[in-house]
Amino acid sequence: MTEDRGELYLIVSVDADEPPSPFQVSNTTAYFEPTSEITTLDYVDPSPDTEQICMRFLQFIINGFFYHDRRYWQPSSGYPQFEREPILTKEGIDVYRGYSVRVVYSETSGFGVCVDVTHKYVSHSPLPVVLSQNAFANLKGSRCVYHYGLAWYEIRPTIYSGLTVREQLLKLDDQGATSLFDFIMSNAPKPFPKDVAGLPPESPAVGYLTNDGETRHAAAALCYPVFGTADSRVRRIHRDTILPPHLRRSLINAFVSSSLGRTDSANPIVRVSSNALTVPKRALLPPDIEFGHRVVLSVRGTRGSSNVSLKDLGKERLGALRDPKIGPYSRKPLDRQYLVMPRSVAESYGPAFVGDLRAEVNTLYDQEVPYAPTIIDYEDRVERTFAAQASAVLGAVESAGLDPGYGIVMIHELDRGRGEHDQLAAMLMTKLREQELFVSVIHTRVAGESYRLHQQASNGPAYMAIPEKRSRLAGYLRNVAINKVLLTNERWPFVLSTPLNADLTIALDVQNNTACFTLLGKSGPSIRTEVSYSRDKEKLAQAHVRRVLFDILRQEASLGMDRVENIVLLRDGQWFKSEINGVKDALVALHKEGLMTGTSASFVEIHKTSAVSFRLFEVETQQGGRIRVENPGLGQYHVLNSKSGYICSTGREYLRQGTAQPLNVRYVEGTMPFGLVLEDVYAQTCLALTQPEGCSRLPFSLRLTDIRLAEHAGSYDQDALAFGDNVDHDESENSESAEEGRIE
């Protein structure tokens, strides 16, 4: 499908049959009317109008080739192709290796395919033959691989019928009705795998929704649960699938030779080269970073700065923060501080942890009044449920009668379903913010595993850090000090000294009906966020964007708006047309008021994960013909075309394992040259405030937006908080579905 002149067109090959009309699409009906227009596709020199059409036809041909190759299975359209045999079975989990294949267009090299390796973690055993409604409730919405004969694909079981596959009837237009069991035995692709051949007729039937909203049914005994990398069992296995660059490249080459190299035999139109494309090595330099006492660290060799090498930049950043002669850029004293912790912690290793945290904060943020938070403990020795623990924390805070301020709340990790976020953390940040208590949340696990009671000869027993845990504890304390104390209080450890190309950068993300705008000035500490709430869950209305952006820009006198000529707007994910129009409306309104004249906007999408998995490898041929493959260096980049580029915001200087995954930057529209946009995005990734000793994959404006949305947009079960945990969630109108992600 494509859009032209405001109308949708379905483009088909001239030798293809006419599509059926009318055609049911999701909850609407499409009617196709033939036109006399014929478009010739030039794959050698496509026009801007036909480039996307060419890519879609090529992708369709390649997908069709794999559809008939039974060595692979695909969870859903657009997903990678996975080998049918697992490469590893461990702790009841099968690990499947897959390959993503996406057609791309390079303005210098023409059409090509990006190939990468990925893995999927699937239960070795299917759902149980005996499946109660309560057991199904814990699985509801989880992904499963459905073994419909040799056709494997992913579904999300959402409907518990209580019927077996023999009892569950399916309506067939031409045959009346038949049982799900008989339908599978008659229609599933053959030869049957053993699990299909031995399907018990008493196996439960479960329902799921198709992409078109149609209800279908599957046999539970053929549904194999899928696990994410956050699952505790997968974490240990995941280490076995982290591929170094030489192995990843070798697997890609083998797949191209054995599979993609055969596409021309199936369809002579498409031929994939067996040799990867070689591109020139290009790299961006990190910007200069300013700390306290006007000390500047520079990889560029800027005059008057402290010169550092790229590989030592992280170490020098952390060292500058710890150096009392340099220290952080921000010097403003912290506001009133609190630390809310479980009573079981306060009466055991709590004092040791508080002492170590105080020391870390005061080392990183030396100020006239040292960091010494007021301690509030809550009775955590109640049920480990959301409602009981939430009531304990809120009750203790209310009893303490706290004045407005900032703080940390330490909580226990509660049991939750796969993919569920931390409801307790989300609720506490939301409810306490209503009392002007701006808190972040930490969990007890790391600290609890890091201290042990020691018997001292002179002072008696005391908790001390376990020697073999000290390194991990030190990193954790640094993380808490920076991310949970300094950034929550908007105290910036260091800032950009090298100006950005854009006069103003605005980052936007939307989660759970909550939008966050982060404003970043050309350089220095001009950083702030604005949160607004919307009726729209992910896509903002044009009027909403216009109103919010107009208000916050009008108030930003400190940013020198009269000199703002170029604004770059970064969107986490996709820009929607209504949002772009809202930005343009705000700038027009500001221009009419004389606040911004001659200001242009450039719209950029930052994709944390891209459908096109792009990799860069540094390949060197050594003596004797031996090939050495390494990760690309930090800052290396490749511009695919005028709308898409990739930056190595992580590289071999900081990666201890695995392969660098370049960050995809997509240019939607605007006036700033794409090359300058890439420079700014990379410069912001070097503003690694959340991990000074390392690197950040995301630009800081989007990273800070993520942090603020975690504080403002987390959803929680309001009924469970009000009435306890024993709420019938199917009957509750206010219960909210869990979103993927963790607040840690």
Q: What is the pLDDT of residues 607-627, one digit of tens each?
A: 988 888 999 999 998 878 889
Interior angle at CA 310, CA 309 and CA 316, nearest 5: 70
pTM, rounded to two decimals: 0.87
How far apart (Å, rounded) are the C-alpha atoms in residues 598 and 561?
A: 11
Least confident of 114-128, 185-199, 217-231, 416-430: 416-430
Beta-ladder partners of 147: 152
How far apart (Å, rounded) are the C-alpha atoms in residues 565 and 176?
A: 68
What per-residue confidence (pLDDT) applies to 106? 92
φ/ψ of residue 385, rounded to 5:
-125, 165
- Which of residues 560 and 294 earns the better pLDDT score? 294
Q: Tell me: the pLDDT tens digits for 443-463?
A: 999 999 999 998 776 777 899
Start-end of H helices in 499-599: 542-554, 577-592
Beta-ladder partners of 24: 29
Interior angle at CA 193, CA 188 and CA 194, nearest 5: 125
Q: Under 8 Å CB-to-CB from 623, ≥6 apart: which residues?
A: none
How far apart (Å, rounded) are the C-alpha atoms in residues 18 and 7?
A: 19
User: Tokens representing 47?
Assistant: 């026009």
pLDDT at 378 over 90: yes
How far apart (Å, rounded) are the C-alpha atoms in residues 367 and 365?
A: 6
Nearest to 564 by CA among 500, 498, 503: 503
φ/ψ of residue 445, rounded to 5:
-60, -55
How far apart (Å, rounded) are the C-alpha atoms in residues 349 and 209?
A: 49
pLDDT at 267 over 70: no
How far apart (Å, rounded) are the C-alpha atoms in residues 112 and 102?
A: 8
How far apart (Å, rounded) are the C-alpha atoms in residues 18 and 32?
A: 9
What per-residue confidence (pLDDT) applies to 721? 53
- The strand ranges marked E within 367-498 are 374-378, 405-411, 437-443, 451-456, 460-465, 495-496
Cβ atoms of 216 and 205 within 8 Å: the answer is: no
DSSP 636: B
DSSP 81: E
Provide mean pLDDT across the span 197-223: 92
User: Tokens representing 628?
Assistant: 């050495």
Which CA distances in Å does 724 have to 414, 430, 638, 719, 729? 15, 18, 54, 7, 12
Cβ atoms of 87 and 77 within 8 Å: the answer is: no
- The strand ranges marked E within 608-682 are 618-621, 627-630, 637-641, 644-647, 663-669
> Could you give the strand order of the β-sheet that contains 157-164, starting from the edge strand earlier in sequence?
157-164, 204-209, 215-219
Cβ atoms of 77 and 64 within 8 Å: the answer is: no
Provide mean pLDDT across the span 456-481: 90
Q: Tell me: the pLDDT tens digits for 387-402?
A: 999 999 999 999 999 9
Least confident of 39-48, 94-103, 508-517, 658-667: 39-48
62: enclosing H helix or E strand: helix 51-67
300: enclosing H helix or E strand: none
What per-residue confidence (pLDDT) applies to 360? 96
pLDDT at 420 over 80: no
Q: Tell me: the pLDDT tens digits for 537-583?
A: 889 999 999 999 999 888 874 455 557 889 999 999 999 999 999 99
φ/ψ of residue 152, rounded to 5:
-105, 135
User: Tokens representing 473?
Assistant: 């504890």
What per-residue confidence (pLDDT) applies to 717? 59
User: Tokens representing 571?
Assistant: 């969107």
Cβ atoms of 689 and 527 within 8 Å: the answer is: no
Pairing of strands 566-572, 504-511: parallel
Nearest to 587 by CA among 608, 603, 604, 611: 603
- Omega of the bond leading into 191 within 30 degrees of 0 (cis): yes
User: Tokens representing 28?
Assistant: 């609407």
Provide mean pLDDT across the span 273-293: 93
Which CA distances in Å does 316 have to 491, 513, 588, 677, 685? 20, 40, 45, 27, 16
Q: Under 8 Å CB-to-CB from 461, ≥6 apart: which residues?
A: 453, 454, 455
How far apart (Å, rounded) are the C-alpha atoms in residues 511 and 705?
A: 11
pLDDT at 3 over 70: no
Least confident of 32-46, 481-495, 711-725: 711-725
Q: Tell me: the pLDDT tens digits for 332-377?
A: 999 999 999 999 999 999 999 999 999 999 999 988 889 999 999 9
What per-residue confidence (pLDDT) applies to 611? 80
Least confident of 30-34, 407-411, 496-500, 675-679: 30-34
What per-residue confidence (pLDDT) applies to 448? 96
User: Tokens representing 425?
Assistant: 């953390």
Cβ atoms of 328 and 289 within 8 Å: the answer is: no
Q: Under 8 Å CB-to-CB from 528, ≥6 apart: which residues?
A: 490, 518, 519
Cβ atoms of 580 and 539 within 8 Å: the answer is: no
**What is the pLDDT confidence band of residue 67, given thresholds at 50, 70 and 90?**
confident
What per-residue confidence (pLDDT) applies to 28? 78
What per-residue confidence (pLDDT) applies to 743? 27
Provide mean pLDDT across the span 593-611: 88
Which CA distances in Å does 294 have to 220, 322, 328, 329, 643? 65, 15, 10, 8, 38
**DSSP of 361-386:** HHHHS--SS---PEEEEE---S-SSH
- Per cent of the chain over pLDDT 90 is 64
How far apart (Å, rounded) are the C-alpha atoms in residues 136 and 125?
A: 16
Q: What share of the chain is helix, strand, coil (3-state, %, to 5)?
A: 30, 25, 45
* Three-class SS state of 545: helix
pLDDT at 741 over 60: no
| Average pLDDT value over all residues in the chain | 88
User: Tokens representing 618?
Assistant: 């540094």
Pairing of strands 296-298, 306-307: parallel
Would you call 106 exposed, middle or buried from its count of C-beta atoms within 10 A (0-12, 13-18, 19+)?
Answer: middle
How far apart (Å, rounded) are the C-alpha atoms in residues 376 and 614?
A: 49
Q: Under 8 Å CB-to-CB from 210, ≥6 apart: which residues?
A: 216
Cβ atoms of 180 and 264 within 8 Å: the answer is: no
Cβ atoms of 319 and 313 within 8 Å: the answer is: no
Q: Tell me the one-letter amino acid at 100.
A: S
What per-residue confidence (pLDDT) applies to 725? 47
Q: How far apart are the first and last CA of the chain?
A: 41
**DSSP of 125-171:** S-S-SS--HHHHHHHTT--EEEEETTEEEEE-EEEEEEEETTT-EEE
What per-residue confidence (pLDDT) applies to 34? 85
Interior angle at CA 250, CA 234 and CA 274, nearest 5: 130
What per-residue confidence (pLDDT) applies to 641? 92
How far apart (Å, rounded) are the C-alpha atoms in residues 661 and 685?
A: 14
What per-residue confidence (pLDDT) applies to 309? 95
Interior angle at CA 460, CA 455 and CA 461, nearest 5: 45
What per-residue confidence (pLDDT) applies to 27? 67
How far apart (Å, rounded) are the C-alpha atoms in residues 547 and 608?
A: 28
